C-alpha cells in the first residue's frame, strides 16, 4: 500500500490538523522500507481514524544509523548542557502552544476524556519537559579525595543510542522518556504503541521545530513483535527503556540480554489500597474511586485491590457504590461531562469482560456494573466486586480496566501481609489518620510508591517505578537521570608534591 | 528635589528614548521615599546628571522589610510550589531577553561600560536567571535511617526576608546573582542597589511585575550604604544579609549583623588576584588573558588579575609585547561599538585610582604604559602598567579597582606560589603554562576561591565563585548558592 506522508484530518470535535503518517527518521517523515502499515481506530465508535506507516527491522536499522550519527555529531555531542536544556524548554513551549491539538488526537485515538487529557496528560508532559530542561546543566560528576597522589573524579556521561518503547494508556508519556534522555545528551529511537501512535508523530514535528538536530529523536510507530523486538535486540542500541506489560517486559529483557543492554522497565501492577477504620471515609472513597476508575482503569499504578478494615467495610462499600454512580459518567470522551470513555481496543475490551466473567464464576459478589455499556464503542460499565478472596484471578491478575475488587481485613499485620501477597510491587495506598501507622505501614509495603491518604497522586519531581515484577529502575525526578548516564571514573596520577621552600624576602627583588 | 515624579523619559546616547522608573519599588509599586529624599545619578562618560531618583532612608527600609515579611509569612508566595517559582523565574528570563538591548543601553549609560560589554552582561543575567529557575524544584533534602522505629527527614527551607546589597561594577549581573538563588528557594528580598548605578534594577522591576511575582516578594531600594545599607544590616526583622563590595564595608556589615539579630551573612569582597605566567606558556595567549584580566570592565572587577608575575626567562619579551597589546585597547565613548574601556564609574573612584597611580610613581615603580587621565571630560583613565614593583608597595597590596596593573618577575614554581599567596585576599588566581604538573601543583597550592588555567575572568552560572581569606564568606553561583538561602530543618518522628 502506498500512503501519502501526511493527511488532513478532522477530529470529532471539529479540530482540523495535519496528521503525519510516515516514520520520523533524521528529522524527516519517510515511508517504511517494506511498505508495512497499521490502522488506528477510534474506540468510541469503532471507526478507522487513519492508516500510517509501520516500522519493521529494516527501518529500525536506518533509525539506529541516524541516531548513532547524531550522537557522534558535534552539533549534538558538543553543545553545552544549557543549550540542551534550552531545546527541551523550547519543546515544552511548543507542546503548550499545540496542547489542544495534541489532546484532541489522544482523545480521538485513545478514548480518554478530552478535559482530563488537556488538563492532566498535556499539563504533565509540559511540566516534565521543562523539569528536565532545568536538569540538563546540573548533572555532576564528583571529585573524590583519595589522598594527595591522585586527582580522582567521575564523569557522568550519556549512554548513547536509546531505544524507548512506550504504551498506549498515556501516549504523551513520551515526555517521561525523552526528557531525561535528551537532557543528558543521548539520542533516541522512540516506538509508540501500535494502538495510539498518532500524537507521537505530531510531537515529532514539534521536536524538529524546537531545533533538535536531525537524528537526535526518531519516532517509529510499529508492532511490538516486529519493531519492538528489532529495537530490543539491535546491537547498535545501547539502552532500552520500556513501559508496558510485565510479560512483554520480560521478553524485552531477554532480547536485551544478548548484547547486555542497559535496561529499565516499568511494567504491571496490582496495587493494594488499605482503608483502616480510623480513616477519613470521604477522602478514602474519593481517592479509591480515582485510584481505579481514572483513565478507564488503564493505569499501571491503579489501586485495583481495596482492603477495608472490617469495622467500616459495609459503610465503605455503600459509599463507594454511590461515588461510582455519581462520578463515573460514561460517554463520548469529547463531551465535557464524561468521566469515563471507552477502553482502548476490542482486544482490551474482550480481556476485561473475560475477567468480569471469571470473577462471577469464581464466586465474587458483583455489586455494580459487570456489563458492556451501550452498543457502539468499547465501553464497559464501572464494575465493583466485593467479598473477594485473595486467590481469585480477579484479585491476582492485572485487569487494566474499570474493575475493582474489595475485601475486608481484621488487623494491620494481616493487611500488610495480604497487600504484599503479589508478584507485583508498583504502587500502594494507605488511608488512616494515625501518623505512626501511616509511616510504619508505608515502610513495610513492598512497592515503589506509597500514597498516604491519596492514590495515584504522582508528581514529576518524585521518582516513579516498581519493585518485584513491576519493574527495574526509576523514572521521573532526579532519579531518572541515572537511567540515562554512565559513570566513568578517571584516576589522574598527580606529580609528587614537593614541600614548599621558603625564600628570604630580599630574593624577591 | 521636591516633587520628583515616579518616572521620567530618558533619551539614550543612541537616540532611543525609554521610561525610567525613579521610585522605590515596594509591594510591586513605585513609591517616593517616606522622607522625600532624592539623589542624582551621574553619567560617568561626560560627568552630567542623567536624572535624580528617590532615595531610601532607614524609614523606607522599615516599610520594605515589613512588605517582604508579610509576603514571606502569608499570601500567595508561601503557597507557590517550587515548580511554580521556577516558572516565574523562567518567565522573568524571557522578559529580560525580550528587553535585552534596552537593559544593556541603560547599563552602559549608568555605569560607563561599553555597550558591547553591557550586552555580554545582560546575556549572563539571562543565563543566570534561567539557571536558577531550573533549580527551584530540585532542592532535595534527605531521609536518614537511624533506627527501625524512627522516621527522620531533612528539609531545606527558605531563610526568610533577605537583605541584599549589591555593587556598581556589574549592576544588573550582581542583581541576577542575588535574586536568582534567593527567589528559587522561596525567600523574599529587600535589595539595595549601589548609589552610583540604580537605574537598570528599577527598569527590571517592571518585568518582575509582568512576570507575575506576588507583591512584596522582591523589593528594590535606591540609596546609600551608610543609611539604607546600614539599616538593612542591623534590621531586627531581616533574617539574612548578602553583600558584594569592598572588604572594609563587608566588615561593617558583619559587625552590624552580629550586633543586631545575628542574621546570616554571606560576603563577596575584594581581591588582589595574581596572574602567573610560566616560561613555557603560550606568550601571545597569556598576554591576551593578562590584558583581559586587568583591563576588562576598566579594572573594576573583584577578581581582576592586578598582580602579574612572569617567570624571568620570558619577562622582558612579555613586558614589551604586553605594552604593545595594551596600547591597542580602545578607550572611549561607551556607546561606540569599538570601545573596550569606558570611564571609571564616579569621581570618587577616579580620584582613588589616580591616588594609587601617584603612590606607585612616588614609591619608585616604573610607568611602562599610561599613568595619566585620558581626555579631559568623563572619568577616563589610561590603561596603566607598572613594573619595578616591590611586594610591600601599596599598589601591590591594596585593591585599586581600576585599569592599573603591576608586573614583576619570579624565578621558580615555589616563588610563584609564595608571591601568589602573599596577600590578605584570596578571590581568584590564574596560571599560564603548558605543563600539566605545574598547573596541578600550583592550583592545589594557591589559596584562592577560583583558579584559572590558561584563561581569565571566565565565570559561569554553574561554577561556584567566592573568596578565601579576606575575600569573602560563602560561595555564589552554581548549586552552592542555594545553601546561602536555605536552612536545614531536621524532623524526627518517633514511630514507637
Answer yes or no: do B134 and A133 touch at CB < 8 A: yes
- With 90 as the cut, is the pLDDT of residue A500 above it? no
State the smallest CA–CA distance between residue A495 and chain B in angstroms. Answer: 6
Would you say A130 and A210 are in contact if contact means Cβ atoms under 8 Å apart?
no
Tell me which chain A residue has its CA closest to the CA of residue B84: A127
Q: Alpha-carbon distance B174 to A405, whole Å?
A: 60
Q: pTM for this structure? A: 0.92
pLDDT digits (tens, 9 = 90+) for A155-188: 999 999 999 999 999 999 999 999 999 999 999 9
Interface check for B83 against chain A (CB to CB < 8 A): the answer is yes
State the smallest CA–CA distance between residue A497 and chain B in angstroms. Answer: 7
Residues of B in Cβ contact (< 8 Å) with A137: 131, 134, 461-462
Tell me which chain A residue has its CA closest to the CA of residue B417: A500
At A55, list the grid cell. 516500522
Active-site residues of A, by number, are: 266, 300
Single out the residue of B348, B349, B358, B337 nearest to residue B298, CA to CA. B349
At B380, list the grid cell. 577616563
Interface check for B70 against chain A (CB to CB < 8 A): the answer is no
Mean pLDDT computed over B81-88? 97
Q: Alpha-carbon distance B332 to B349, whole Å?
A: 18
Place of cell 516513579: A464
End-to-end Cα separation, chain A, in angstroms:
88
Q: Is B338 a catalytic residue?
A: no
pLDDT digits (tens, 9 = 90+) for B99-108: 999 999 999 9
Interface check for A390 against chain B (CB to CB < 8 A): the answer is no
Beta strands in B130-287 (DSSP E): 150-158, 161-165, 188-193, 218-222, 240-244, 264-268, 274-277
Place of cell 569582597: B269
Q: Alpha-carbon distance A223 to A226, whole Å?
A: 5
Q: Taking each helix axis from N to C terminus, what angle separates A174-183 and A198-210, rounded to the nearest 10 degrees?
A: 30
Interface check for A439 against chain B (CB to CB < 8 A): the answer is yes
At residue B192 the predicted structure's pLDDT band, cuts being 50, 70 and 90, is very high
Give start and end residues of each alpha helix (H) in A147-216.
Answer: 174-183, 198-210
> Pairing relation of β-strands A485-493 and A150-158?
antiparallel
> Pairing relation of β-strands A161-165 and A239-243?
parallel
Q: What's the Cα-to-Cα distance from B453 to each of A239, A290, B416, B441, B461, rounded to whole Å?
A: 37, 58, 14, 12, 18
pLDDT digits (tens, 9 = 90+) for A376-416: 999 999 999 999 999 999 999 999 999 999 999 999 999 99
Q: Alpha-carbon distance A179 to A158, whole Å?
A: 13
Answer yes or no: do B140 and A478 touch at CB < 8 A: yes
Residue-averaged pLDDT of chain B: 97
Interface check for A497 against chain B (CB to CB < 8 A): the answer is yes
Single out the residue of A455, A352, A457 nearest to residue A402, CA to CA. A352
Interface check for A508 against chain B (CB to CB < 8 A): the answer is yes
Q: Does ipTM come in above 0.90?
A: no
At residue A8 the predicted structure's pLDDT band, cuts being 50, 70 and 90, is very high
B15 φψ region: left (φ > 0), alpha (ψ -120 to 50), beta (else): left
Would you say B53 and B221 are in contact if contact means Cβ atoms under 8 Å apart?
no
Answer yes or no: do A509 and B390 touch at CB < 8 A: yes
State the smallest CA–CA distance between residue A150 and chain B in angstroms. Answer: 11
> Pairing relation of β-strands B17-21 and B218-222?
unpaired
Would you say B450 and B429 are in contact if contact means Cβ atoms under 8 Å apart?
yes
Would you say B319 and B287 are in contact if contact means Cβ atoms under 8 Å apart?
no
- With 80 as the cut, is the pLDDT of residue B208 above it? yes
Answer yes or no: do B134 and A478 touch at CB < 8 A: no
Would you say B8 and B21 are in contact if contact means Cβ atoms under 8 Å apart?
no
> Pairing relation of β-strands B425-426 and B468-469?
antiparallel
Answer yes or no: do B441 and A131 touch at CB < 8 A: no
Neighbours of A20 (CB within 10 A): 22
Mean pLDDT computed over B462-481? 97
pLDDT digits (tens, 9 = 90+) for A429-440: 999 999 999 999
Interface check for B141 against chain A (CB to CB < 8 A): the answer is no
Answer yes or no: do A82 and B130 touch at CB < 8 A: yes
What is the DSSP annotation of B122-138? HHHHHHHHHHHHHHGGG
A residues 115-154 lying closer than 8 A (beta carbon) to B: 127, 130-131, 133-138, 140, 151
pLDDT digits (tens, 9 = 90+) for B45-69: 999 999 999 999 999 999 999 999 9
State the smallest CA–CA distance between residue A432 and chain B in angstroms. Answer: 15
Residues of A in Cβ contact (< 8 Å) with B83: 127, 131, 460-461
State the smallest CA–CA distance between residue A66 and chain B in angstroms. Answer: 31
Q: What's the Cα-to-Cα distance from A181 to each of A71, A188, A209, A239, B104, rounded to whole Å?
A: 12, 7, 19, 10, 36
Would you say B493 and B151 are in contact if contact means Cβ atoms under 8 Å apart?
yes
The confidence score (pLDDT) of residue B34 equals 97
Interface check for A260 against chain B (CB to CB < 8 A): the answer is no
Residues of B in Cβ contact (< 8 Å) with A500: 414, 417-418, 445
Four-residue CA torsion sign, B408, B413, B418, B422: positive
State the smallest CA–CA distance between residue B154 and chain A in angstroms. Answer: 16
- With 80 as the cut, is the pLDDT of residue A506 above it? no
Q: Alpha-carbon distance A192 to A178, whole Å?
A: 12
Answer yes or no: do A138 and B138 touch at CB < 8 A: yes
**A256 backbone dihedrals φ, ψ, rounded to 5°:** -70, -25
Interface check for A496 against chain B (CB to CB < 8 A): the answer is no
Interface check for A83 against chain B (CB to CB < 8 A): the answer is no
At A224, list the grid cell. 511490538
Q: Alpha-carbon distance B187 to B339, whole Å?
A: 39
Q: What's the Cα-to-Cα distance from B338 to each of A492, B102, B295, rounded to whole Å?
A: 44, 19, 15
Percent of chain B with pLDDT over 90: 98
Interface check for B364 against chain A (CB to CB < 8 A): the answer is no
The confidence score (pLDDT) of residue A4 equals 97
Interface check for A491 against chain B (CB to CB < 8 A): the answer is no
Which site among B134, B142, B419, B435 would you substitute to test the A interface, given the most A Cβ atoms closer than 10 Å to its Cβ?
A: B134
Q: Alpha-carbon distance B355 to B361, whole Å?
A: 10
Q: What is the number of CB-based contacts under 8 A between chain A and chain B? A: 82
Would you say B294 and B451 are in contact if contact means Cβ atoms under 8 Å apart?
no
Q: Alpha-carbon distance A334 to A117, whole Å?
A: 10
At B492, list the grid cell. 524526627
3-state secondary structure of A299: coil
Task: Burial-class residue B163 by CB neighbours within 10 Å (0-12, 13-18, 19+).
Answer: buried
Q: Alpha-carbon distance A162 to A169, whole Å?
A: 21
Would you say B405 and B430 are in contact if contact means Cβ atoms under 8 Å apart?
no
At B474, list the grid cell. 560563602
Which site among A82, A92, A134, A494 would you substitute to test the B interface, given the most B Cβ atoms closer than 10 Å to its Cβ?
A: A134
At A31, list the grid cell. 515511508
Residues of A in Cβ contact (< 8 Å) with B494: 436
Answer yes or no: do A500 and B390 touch at CB < 8 A: no
Would you say B343 and B299 are in contact if contact means Cβ atoms under 8 Å apart?
no
The confidence score (pLDDT) of residue B4 equals 96
Q: Taking each helix axis from N to C terminus, what angle separates A81-97 and A198-210, rounded to the nearest 10 degrees?
A: 130
3-state secondary structure of B317: helix
At B96, list the grid cell. 529580560
Catalytic residue among B268, B368, B399, B476: B268
At B305, list the grid cell. 588579575
Place of cell 536509546: A162
Of A144-148, A172-176, B225-229, the poorest mean pLDDT is in A144-148
At B104, list the grid cell. 544593556
Q: Alpha-carbon distance B229 to B256, whole Å?
A: 10
State the smallest CA–CA distance between residue B365 and chain A in angstroms. Answer: 12
Residues of A in Cβ contact (< 8 Å) with B451: none
Which site among B85, B127, B137, B478 would you substitute to test the A interface, given the most A Cβ atoms closer than 10 Å to its Cβ?
A: B137
Interface check for B366 against chain A (CB to CB < 8 A): the answer is no
The confidence score (pLDDT) of residue A509 equals 35
At A490, list the grid cell. 578517571
CB nearest to A138's CB, from B87, B437, B479: B479
- With 50 as the cut, is the pLDDT of residue A134 above it? yes
Catalytic residue among B301, B302, B368, B470: B301
Q: Alpha-carbon distance A482 to A478, whole Å?
A: 8
Amino acid at each position: 500500500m502506498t500512503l501519502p506522508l501526511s493527511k488532513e484530518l478532522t477530529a470529532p470535535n471539529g479540530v482540523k490538523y495535519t496528521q503525519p503518517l510516515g516514520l520520523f527518521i533524521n528529522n524527516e517523515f519517510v515511508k517504511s522500507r517494506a511498505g508495512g502499515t497499521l490502522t488506528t481506530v477510534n474506540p468510541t465508535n469503532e471507526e478507522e481514524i487513519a492508516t500510517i506507516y509501520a516500522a519493521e527491522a529494516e527501518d529500525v536499522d536506518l533509525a539506529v544509523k541516524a541516531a548513532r550519527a547524531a550522537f557522534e555529531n558535534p552539533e549534538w555531542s558538543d553543545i553545552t548542557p544549557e543549550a540542551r536544556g534550552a531545546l527541551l524548554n523550547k519543546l515544552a513551549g511548543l507542546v503548550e502552544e499545540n496542547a489542544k491539538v495534541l489532546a484532541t488526537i489522544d482523545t480521538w485515538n485513545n478514548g480518554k476524556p478530552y478535559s482530563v487529557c488537556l488538563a492532566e496528560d498535556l499539563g504533565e508532559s509540559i511540566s516534565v519537559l521543562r523539569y528536565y530542561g532545568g536538569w540538563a546543566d546540573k548533572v555532576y560528576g564528583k571529585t573524590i579525595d583519595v589522598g594527595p597522589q591522585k586527582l580522582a573524579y567521575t564523569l557522568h556521561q550519556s549512554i548513547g543510542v536509546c531505544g524507548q518503547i512506550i504504551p498506549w494508556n498515556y501516549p504523551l508519556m513520551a515526555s517521561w522518556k525523552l526528557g531525561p534522555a535528551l537532557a543528558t545528551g543521548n539520542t533516541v529511537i522512540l516506538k509508540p504503541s501500535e494502538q495510539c501512535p498518532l500524537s507521537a508523530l505530531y510531537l515529532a514535528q514539534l521536536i524538529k521545530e524546537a531545533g533538535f538536530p536531525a537524528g537526535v529523536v526518531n519516532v517509529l510507530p510499529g508492532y511490538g513483535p516486529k519493531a519492538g523486538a528489532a529495537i530490543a535486540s539491535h546491537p547498535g542500541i545501547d539502552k532500552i527503556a520500556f513501559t508496558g506489560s510485565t510479560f512483554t517486559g520480560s521478553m524485552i529483557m531477554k532480547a536485551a540480554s544478548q548484547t547486555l543492554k542497559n535496561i529499565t522497565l516499568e511494567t504491571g501492577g496490582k496495587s493494594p489500597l488499605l482503608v483502616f477504620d480510623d480513616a477519613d471515609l470521604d477522602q478514602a472513597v474519593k481517592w479509591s474511586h480515582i485510584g481505579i476508575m481514572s483513565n478507564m482503569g488503564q493505569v499501571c499504578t491503579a489501586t485495583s485491590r481495596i482492603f477495608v478494615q472490617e469495622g467500616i467495610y459495609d459503610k465503605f462499600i455503600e459509599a463507594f457504590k454511590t461515588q461510582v454512580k455519581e462520578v463515573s459518567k460514561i460517554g463520548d470522551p469529547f463531551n465535557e461531562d464524561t468521566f469515563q470513555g471507552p477502553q482502548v481496543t476490542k482486544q482490551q475490551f474482550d480481556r476485561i469482560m473475560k475477567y468480569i466473567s471469571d470473577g462471577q464464576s469464581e464466586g465474587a459478589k458483583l455489586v455494580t456494573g459487570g456489563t458492556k455499556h451501550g452498543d457502539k464503542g468499547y465501553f464497559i460499565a464501572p464494575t465493583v466486586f466485593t467479598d473477594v478472596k485473595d486467590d481469585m484471578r480477579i484479585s491476582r491478575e492485572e485487569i487494566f480496566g474499570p474493575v475493582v475488587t474489595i475485601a475486608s481485613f481484621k488487623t494491620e499485620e494481616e493487611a500488610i501481609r495480604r497487600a504484599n501477597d503479589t508478584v507485583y510491587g508498583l504502587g500502594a495506598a494507605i488511608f488512616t489518620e494515625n501518623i505512626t501507622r501511616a509511616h510504619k505501614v508505608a515502610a513495610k509495603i513492598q512497592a515503589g510508591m506509597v500514597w498516604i491518604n491519596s492514590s495515584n497522586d504522582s508528581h514529576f519531581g518524585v521518582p516513579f517505578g516498581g519493585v518485584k515484577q513491576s519493574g527495574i529502575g526509576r523514572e521521573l525526578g532526579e532519579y531518572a537521570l541515572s537511567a540515562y548516564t554512565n559513570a566513568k571514573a578517571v584516576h589522574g596520577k598527580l606529580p609528587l608534591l614537593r614541600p614548599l621552600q621558603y625564600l628570604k624576602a630580599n630574593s624577591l627583588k | 528635589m521636591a516633587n520628583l515624579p515616579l518616572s521620567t523619559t530618558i533619551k539614550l546616547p543612541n537616540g532611543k528614548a525609554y521610561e525610567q522608573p525613579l521610585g522605590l519599588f515596594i509591594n510591586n509599586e513605585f513609591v517616593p521615599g517616606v522622607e522625600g529624599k532624592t539623589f542624582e545619578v551621574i553619567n560617568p562618560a561626560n560627568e552630567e546628571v542623567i536624572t535624580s531618583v528617590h532615595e531610601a532612608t532607614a524609614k523606607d527600609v522599615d516599610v520594605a522589610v515589613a512588605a517582604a515579611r508579610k509576603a514571606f509569612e502569608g499570601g500567595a508566595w508561601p503557597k507557590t510550589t517550587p515548580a511554580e517559582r521556577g516558572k516565574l523565574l523562567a518567565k522573568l528570563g524571557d522578559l529580560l531577553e525580550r528587553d535585552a538591548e534596552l537593559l544593556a543601553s541603560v547599563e552602559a549609560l549608568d555605569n560607563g561600560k561599553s555597550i558591547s560589554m553591557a550586552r555580554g552582561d545582560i546575556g549572563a543575567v539571562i543565563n543566570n536567571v534561567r539557571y536558577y529557575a531550573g533549580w527551584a524544584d530540585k532542592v532535595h533534602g534527605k531521609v536518614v535511617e537511624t533506627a527501625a522505629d524512627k522516621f527522620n527527614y531533612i528539609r531545606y527551607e527558605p531563610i526568610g526576608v533577605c537583605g541584599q546589597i549589591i555593587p556598581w561594577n556589574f549592576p544588573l549581573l550582581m542583581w541576577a546573582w542575588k535574586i536568582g538563588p534567593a527567589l528559587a528557594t522561596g525567600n523574599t528580598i529587600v535589595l539595595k542597589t549601589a548609589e552610583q548605578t540604580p537605574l537598570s534594577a528599577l527598569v527590571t522591576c517592571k518585568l518582575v511585575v509582568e512576570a507575575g511575582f506576588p507583591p512584596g516578594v522582591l523589593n528594590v531600594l535606591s540609596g546609600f550604604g551608610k543609611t539604607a545599607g546600614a539599616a538593612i544590616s542591623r534590621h531586627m526583622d531581616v533574617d539574612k544579609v548578602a553583600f558584594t563590595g569592598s572588604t572594609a564595608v563587608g566588615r561593617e556589615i558583619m559587625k552590624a549583623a552580629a550586633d543586631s539579630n545575628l542574621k546570616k551573612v554571606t560576603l563577596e569582597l575584594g581581591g588582589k588576584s595574581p596572574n602567573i605566567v610560566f616560561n613555557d606558556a603560550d606568550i601571545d595567549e597569556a598576554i591576551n588573558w593578562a590584558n583581559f584580566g586587568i583591563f576588562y570592565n576598566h579594572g573594576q572587577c573583584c577578581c581582576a588579575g592586578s598582580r602579574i608575575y612572569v617567570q624571568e626567562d620570558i619577562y622582558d619579551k612579555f613586558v614589551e609585547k604586553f605594552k604593545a597589546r595594551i596600547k591597542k585597547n580602545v578607550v572611549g565613548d561607551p556607546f561606540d561599538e569599538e570601545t573596550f574601556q569606558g570611564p571609571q564609574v564616579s569621581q570618587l573612584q577616579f580620584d582613588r585610582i589616580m591616588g594609587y597611580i601617584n603612590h606607585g610613581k612616588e614609591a619608585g615603580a616604573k610607568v611602562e604604559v599610561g599613568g595619566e587621565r585620558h581626555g579631559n571630560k568623563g572619568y577616563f583613565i589610561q590603561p596603566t602598567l607598572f613594573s619595578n614593583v616591590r611586594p610591600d608597595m601599596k599598589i601591590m597590596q591594596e585593591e585599586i579597582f581600576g585599569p592599573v596593573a603591576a608586573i614583576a618577575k619570579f624565578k621558580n614554581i615555589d616563588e610563584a606560589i609564595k608571591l601568589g599567596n602573599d596577600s590578605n585576599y584570596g578571590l581568584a588566581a590564574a596560571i599560564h603554562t603548558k605543563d600539566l604538573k605545574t598547573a596541578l601543583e600550583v592550583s592545589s597550592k594557591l589559596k584562592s576561591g577560583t583558579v584559572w588555567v590558561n584563561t581569565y575572568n571566565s565565570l559561569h552560572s554553574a561554577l561556584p565563585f567566592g573568596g578565601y581569606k579576606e575575600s569573602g564568606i560563602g560561595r555564589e553561583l552554581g548549586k552552592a548558592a542555594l545553601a546561602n538561602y536555605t536552612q536545614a530543618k531536621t524532623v524526627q518522628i518517633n514511630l514507637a
